[in-house]
Structure 1
Amino acid sequence: MALRRLPPLRALEAFMRTVRLGSARAAAEELGLSPSALSRRIANLEEFVGKKLFTRARQAMQLTDEGHAFYEAVAPQFEALARAVEGQSDNMSLLRLHLGVLPLFGSQRLFPHLGELRRLHPLLHIDIDTGAHLEDRVGDTLDAAIILSRGPEKGLHAVRLDENMVHAITSRELAEGLSSTPSEEQLSKQTFLIHNELPESFTAWKEELGMRDLEPAAIDHYDSGQLMLEAAAQGLGIAIMHDDHRRRAADPRLTDLFDVEVESPYSYWFVCKPTALEERPVRLFHDWLVKAGL
Structure 2
Amino acid sequence: MRRLPPLTAIEAFVQVARLGSIKAAAEELALSSPALSRRVQSLERFIGKPLFERRHQALRLNDDGERLLSAIAPALDAMTDAVETMTSGAELLRLRLGVLPLFATQRLMPKLPALRRKHPELHLDVDTGGYGVTRLGEGLDAAIVLARDVDPGLYARRLDRNRVHVIGARSLLEGPDPITRPEQLSKLTALVHRDMVETFTAWRAAAGVPELEPLAIDHFDSGTLMLEAAAQGLGVAFMLESHFEAAQDPRLVQLFDLTVESQYSYWFCCRPRALTQRAVRIFHDWLIEALGAEAD
TM-score (normalizing by structure 1): 0.82
Contact residue 54 and residue 61 of structure 1 kept, 8 A:
no
Amino acid at match of 1:203: T
Amino acid at match of 2:167: I
Tell me by how many angstroms 1:147 deviates: 1.2
Structure 1 Cα separation of the partners of residues 90 and 103 of structure 2: 31
Structure 1 Cα separation of the partners of residues 52 and 200 of structure 2: 50
Amino acid at match of 1:182: R
Contact residue 53 and residue 62 of structure 2 kept, 8 A:
no
Tell me by how many angstroms 1:242 deviates: 0.8
Counterpart for residue 216 of structure 1: 214
Which consecutive residues of structure 2, in runs of 5 or more, have no partner in the other structure?
A: none
Q: How far does the alpha carbon of each residue in 1:80-135 deviate from its partner, in whole angstroms, 9 at most, with x for none?
A: 44455566777245332222111111111112222233333333222111113222
Quickly say closer, same or farther: Cα 1:284–1:4, change in 2 above 3 A.
farther
Tell me by how many angstroms 1:259 deviates: 0.6
Contact residue 166 and residue 263 of structure 1 kept, 8 A:
yes
Tell me by how many angstroms 1:158 deviates: 1.9
Amino acid at match of 1:166: V
Query: Which of 18, 21, 32 is matched with 1:20 structurally?
Result: 18
Query: Which of 127, 147, 159 is matched with 2:125 structurally?
Result: 127
1:182 aligns with 2:181: yes
Q: Which moved more, 1:62-71 or 1:271-280?
A: 62-71
Query: Which of 108, 112, 117 is matched with 2:110 structurally?
Result: 112
Q: How far does the alpha carbon of each residue in 1:50-86 deviate from its partner, in whole angstroms, 9 at most, with x for none?
A: 5546369788766565443222222233334445556
Amino acid at match of 2:117: R
Contact residue 21 and residue 278 of structure 1 kept, 8 A:
no
Structure 2 Cα separation of the partners of residues 68 and 210 of structure 1: 44
SS in 2 for 1:108: helix
Amino acid at match of 2:263: P
Contact residue 14 and residue 41 of structure 1 kept, 8 A:
yes
Tell me by how many angstroms 1:164 deviates: 1.5
SS in 2 for 1:289: helix
Amino acid at match of 2:181: P
Structure 2 Cα separation of the partners of residues 287 and 230 of structure 1: 33
Counterparts of 1:250-261 in structure 2, within 5 Å, are 250-261=248-259
Equivalenced residues, count: 290
Tell me by how many angstroms 1:256 deviates: 0.5
Structure 1 Cα separation of the partners of residues 4 and 116 of structure 2: 30
SS in 2 for 1:167: strand
Q: How far does the alpha carbon of each residue in 1:184-236 deviate from its partner, in whole angstroms, 9 at most, with x for none?
A: 2x332223322233231111222233333333334433221011112222333
Q: How far does the alpha carbon of each residue in 1:1-52 deviate from its partner, in whole angstroms, 9 at most, with x for none?
A: xx998765444322221221122332222111234443554466567x7554
Counterparts of 1:229-248 in structure 2, within 5 Å, are 229-248=227-246
Structure 1 Cα separation of the partners of residues 12 and 90 of structure 2: 22
SS in 1 for 2:263: coil
Tell me by how many angstroms 1:165 deviates: 1.1
Counterpart for residue 139 of structure 2: 141
Quickly say closer, same or farther: Cα 1:252–1:86, change in 2 above 3 A.
farther
Q: Which moved more, 1:147-156 or 1:6-15?
A: 6-15
SS in 1 for 2:145: strand
SS in 2 for 1:188: helix
Counterpart for residue 89 of structure 2: 91
Counterpart for residue 101 of structure 2: 103
Quickly say closer, same or farther: Cα 1:192–1:41, change in 2 above 3 A.
closer
SS in 1 for 2:198: helix
Structure 2 Cα separation of the partners of residues 290 and 282 of structure 1: 12
Quickly say closer, same or farther: Cα 1:44–1:205, change in 2 above 3 A.
closer
Structure 2 Cα separation of the partners of residues 146 and 183 of structure 1: 32
Contact residue 136 and residue 270 of structure 2 kept, 8 A:
yes
Query: Which of 75, 78, 84 is matched with 1:77 structurally?
Result: 75
Quickly say closer, same or farther: Cα 1:118–1:8, change in 2 above 3 A.
farther
Counterpart for residue 288 of structure 1: 286
Amino acid at match of 1:33: L
Q: How far does the alpha carbon of each residue in 1:154-178 deviate from its partner, in whole angstroms, 9 at most, with x for none?
A: 4222222222211111122222345
SS in 1 for 2:153: coil
